[in-house]
Structure 1
Amino acid sequence: MDYSRKNHYLKFKSIDDDWVYIEDFLTGETWEVRREIADFLRALNGKTDPYKINEEFSQEFVDELLDDFDEEGWLYSGQRLMSGGIGTALFTLWIPDVKIWHRIVAKIWNSLLILLCLPVFIIGVSILVRGNFPHVDHDTNLGLCYLVGLVPGLMLHELSHAAACLSDVRGNVFEFGIMIRYFLPGAYVVLDSEKIRNRFKKAQIFAAGIEMNLLLAGIFLILLKFGWLDCTLLIYAALLNGILAAFNLALIGPLDGMKIFSELLGVENIVDKAKKLIFDNEAKKILRKRGINGRAAIASCYIIVGFQLLLPLVLILNVISIMGLFN
């Protein structure tokens, strides 16, 4: 039997012995509630009978609490499919109840990812370049290439972000799922790295997906050596993961490259600031007087803004390429 479950986006922080601060990570709404009520809410995990959580609470009082929680949006609706606007929908696959073993697995995953991604990728590329592998070719289906290359590439990309975040005790993951965005398939993860103060660690969290795509590309190319699978399939799958890695490195607003760049520089809203500088002639005059460093800053702003124009173009090209699978 499924019982009431708290909204998994709620964050709890103690104020004192009697009061607790609650924040909805998605909406930013905040509340201050008494500790016994917060403890009761926190215990609603969908598996525990709410009438047995606190023996001092009567059945009528629990019913009132559950009604109040529902009105406040503190309970999980159970809805896994959500619309995100035109051409966008999300389907939740996993809502983690983070335990210590999750963090241990995440730590191992992330450490191996950092250690192996570049060596494996380099070895795979060297095998491809040298052509030192048995050529096994069949009638390769382009749709199968996309399936083999993109499905693990997209899913493991997002799970690697989650692993990198959970590898730090101050990081948290709220949700993982699949999505259609601008009519294109993908995956997503909702995580919270706000409490992580080390900007290099936060940058690595955003880089973890790219590291995974490089690792997968290397693995696909290394498999060429064994002659078990069709060469075209493996090369195409490796190419797709290489493209995913390169694309996510781009300095485009929603992509990992911009997040990494922003974290390393310690600058927020970098696209908006770059746009503002481009149209501020006085600020550009001041920067030009600083010599090469100032001119480099101006050039960087133009590059960042220029990258934003690439996103619609890439999306259009992706749609065309996917449509080509059905021709």
Structure 2
Amino acid sequence: MAEKRQDRLAEYRGKRDAGRTPEPVPDERDLPHGDDDTFVIQEHHASSLHWDLRLERDGVLVSWALPKGVPWSPKTNHLAVHTEDHPLEYAAFEGEIPADEYGGGEVYIWDRGTYETRKWTDREVKAVFHGSRVTGLYALFRTRGKNWMIHRMDPPADPDAEPLPERVRPMLPQERARLPRDEEHYGFEFAWGGRRLLAYVEGGRTRFTDGRGREARSPAGLGGPLGESLGARRVVLDGELASVEGQETYLVFDLLHLDGHPLLDVPYEERRERLGDLGLAGPRWQTAPWYPGEGRAVRDTAKERGLRGVVAKRLDSPYEPGERSGAWRLLKL
């Protein structure tokens, strides 16, 4: 951060081939100068998902890579790895860096806006951010080498936000011999006969617990890609790992926590709608289908497909952790 002015972008240019990457690679020249008040945060799907924080300073974008993104609460600090300065033009960059180039992967603008400098030294930066997603006072402080930490100094922007729970014991259905008579009050799902897994996703990373609420190993090819697909969202998902057309797939059928807010007391129908809004669809995961009021049709289709059975869930039912509840009914076939 204390390099000579004319050399500020030498490291940046040295890592990039202007003929191969769509990134801006300016020639060596006098640096442009703005008002030192622009910031951008780019979501970078490189070999490991991270977020790049860039602050305009003396004609360049001083940059840090945040493996877990920006902390939403002052109770948690996140690692910030200081990287090379970037040109000011990079504040508008979105696109795909070729896989064999430095930083290969998709880059999206996650947030941008202006900031006010409260302090700027070689070891500490304090700034007030005015973005669409990130607002408030933050501090970046150096720990060792290129490693810094980023800390939120203001109270949480959402004072009602809660951290992800360490674990949730899954809700279980009661077995019944028949479908409910009042089908219009239920949503119906296939019972796939898979392994129950709850997924806890934060900062693009995923961990799992099993049907008893115990820590579970991440299935191959699932945890990392699932976390990356959700980006900065903070969620707890409930589902099962089952075979679908010969492919082991994580079928998600419930949403228990969303961006700092528990959904256990929210009716099943609304949880299902919010789950659908997440757009979960990947090579190893998808939102499990559900059919409000269509019990007989779901039962007949399950029989044709040779599935384990049908689960009927009351549309107005909350999520009852660890309970075998009559609000959920399993009809075995």
TM over 0.5, shorter chain = no
| Greater percentage in strand | 2
Q: When the two structures are superposed, what TM-score results if normalisation uses the length of structure 2?
A: 0.25
Q: When the two structures are superposed, what TM-score results if normalisation uses the length of structure 1?
A: 0.25
